[in-house]
Structure formats: C-alpha cells, structure tokens
Amino acid sequence: MTVPAPGAAATDPEDEPKDGETVVKAVAVPEMMPLVPPTAPPVQPKEGKIVFTRCELQPPAIALTFDDGPHPDFTPKLLDILKKENIKVTFFLVGRCVNAYPNVVKRMVDEGHEIASHSWSHPLLTSLGDQSLDSQMQRTHDAIIKACGVTPTLYRPPYGATRISQRKFIHDKFGYLAILWDVDPLDWQHPRTSKKVHDRVLEQTRIGSIILCHDIHETTVDAMPTTIADLKARGFQFLTVSQLLDLEKQAPALPNSPKLPPQAIAAMAAAAAPATPAAPPQPVPPPKPAPKPMDTSKPLSLEAPGEIKL
Ligand SMILES: [Zn+2]
C-alpha cells in the first residue's frame, strides 16, 4: 500500500487519497482534549489478536462496512437501502462529521447498525505524536457517545495505517480492535461508477470478508442494491463486524475449507463457460468438504455459542 507522505494527506485538503481511502477535507484540529501525561505508564501488550483484515469461519457470512461518514444526504439514502434489504452493516465514523450530523448517527443505531471510530479528522495516524493520536481517538469516542449513547468497540485507522505502538495504545486505552479490510473496490477512484463498485466487490468477496466502502460517494450508495442482491444470491449473509468476529469464535474455518459458498462457485463456473464450447466443458471439481448451504432467510444466531442456526 502506498501511503501519503507523513503529514501531507492529513493536512492538505486538496490532496487526492493515495491508498484507497478518501481524505475528508481537513481543517486544523486544535488539541483541546486532555493530553496524555508524560508519566503515563508504558503500554503493555495484551494477549489476543487486536487487528483484523477478515475472518476465518465456516458459515458464508461477510461484513459490509462504510467509512468517512456520516454524510448528510448519501448516508440516509444508504440507510433506506439497507432497511429495504434488511441487512446490518458497520459504519466507521469521522468524529467531526458525527458532531455535524448526530441525527444520522442516531438513526444508524436505531436501525441496528454498528458504529465505530475512524478518527476525528482523518489524518494519517502514523504521522501523529502520542498526544495528537490520543486527541483524535478521544474526541471521536466522546462524540459518538454523545450522539447516540453507544460506546464504540472498534476503529479503523485512516488509510489502514498505524504503528504497532499506536495499536497497542488505542487497544489499551479504549479497548478497541483495529478493523482493516480484505475487499476494496477502490470506490473513491475517478472516474467513479456504480458498476465498478459492484463488479469489484463481487469479484473479491469470500467467506469472512470485510468489505470497505465509503458512504460519502453517491456512486457507491447507488451500487448497493445490485451489489447486495448479487451477494445474497451467492449465499452470503451480512453481519456487523462484531457479529462476524463473534461467529469466527463460534464456528472457525476448518482446515482446507473452501473460501467461497457453493452458489458462488457455481456462478463463477457458469460465467467462465464459453457460450459455444469448442471443447468438452471442464468439470469444476466440487469443494471438499463442502460447506452447508445457508438458509439466508433466517438470521444467524449469535446468542448461543456453538448453536449456530444455518
Ligand atoms: Zn477513511
């Protein structure tokens, strides 16, 4: 991944993003929050994984995520689509946008979506000192709680970039897990089209994928009805990121288990078949072991560990 020169993308509002993320137009962020005292105890690494790019699990579940909002027009439009599709997603929110549009954040929570932190003003965190990092995360944490009463448990660093010491600091202070992604439709790139978003998401998504999208681009929001419908047709079920992480604990992937659900394998085989085959068609070997087909009309149960309803 190419990241902007330290400080460049964080402060120059005209900079084009370099790595798949959108730079929210930046303004100077005063450091008004309490600073980390110089005598703060050193961060101790905790046991367990604190960074995720995808999940390894058996059921064909995925998580759709949206960054950089809320946007006053496109996010409500997206929420309408998600309500119609009856799916829940995870929003990684920019703190100052939370402050600007708290009612949109409230609506996200009221409609069952997960909300998480994406920093206050979308800087490249690796360019920040400890005090600025603390301010970016604390202000966003407080703004989300103020807007909707929910305490976030996840964050996504802008551009996906953090130093290891910063991840440990954020995990220690806020208890956040860092959520990256394994599916990136590059929906910020020009020329933006909904078809590109749809095609790239469909091409990259596997069982356990975490899909990165941005609800500040209308083309991305407009891509969602067909994208969601086609992912459903392949047998995928949509969960929030926290639900996906829980499910990974309950139903981890078996060794050598296929990454694609049966419907996706069949769809890819059909798409690859020539219209007028000149040679005998090559059979597509079935995956071994094949995962159970999922009844997508029923929600996955996350209530009782070990009792996942498929
Ligand atoms: Zn972002």
Q: How far is CA 261 from CA 44, 83, 178, 286, 300, in A?
A: 40, 25, 27, 11, 16
Active site residues: 67, 214
Q: What is the pLDDT of residues 125-139, one digit of tens each?
A: 999 999 999 999 999
Residue 81 has pLDDT above 50, yes or no: yes
| Cα 24 to averaged position of ligand 1 atoms, centre (Å) | 8
Cα separations (Å) of 35 from 88, 96, 133, 136?
36, 19, 10, 11
Dist. CA 53–CA 181, nearest whole Å: 4
- For residue 64, report the distance from its CA to the centre of ligand 1, in Å: 15
Ligand 1 centroid to residue 157 C-alpha, Å = 7
Give pairs for 174-177: CB < 8 Å, separation 24+: 174/117, 174/137, 174/141, 176/116, 176/117, 176/137, 176/152, 177/49, 177/50, 177/51, 177/52, 177/153, 177/245
Q: Which domains does the chain have, with CATH numbers?
A: 52-250 (3.20.20.370)
247-267 pLDDT, tens digit per residue, is 999 999 988 777 777 777 676
Mean pLDDT of the residues in the chain = 80
Residue 4: both structure tokens together: 């902007």
Rg of the chain over Cα atoms, rounded to whole angstroms, equals 20
Distance 67 CA to ligand 1 centre (A): 5
* Amino acid letter, 187: D
Q: How far apart are CA 8 and CA 4, in angstroms?
A: 6
Q: Which residue has the tokens 């206050």?
A: 120
User: What are 95-126's pLDDT values in tens digits?
Assistant: 999 999 999 999 999 999 999 999 999 999 99
Is the separation of the CB atoms in 206 and 260 below 8 Å? Answer: yes
Could you tell me the pTM of the whole model? 0.74
Cα distance between residue 81 and residue 238, in whole Å: 14
**Measured in angstroms, how far is the CA atom of residue 246 from the centroid of ligand 1?**
24
CA distance between the termini of the chain: 37
> Of 142, 115, 117, nearest to 241 (Cα)?
115
Q: In terms of residues, how long is the chain?
A: 310
22-44 confidence digits (pLDDT tens): 333 333 333 333 333 333 333 33
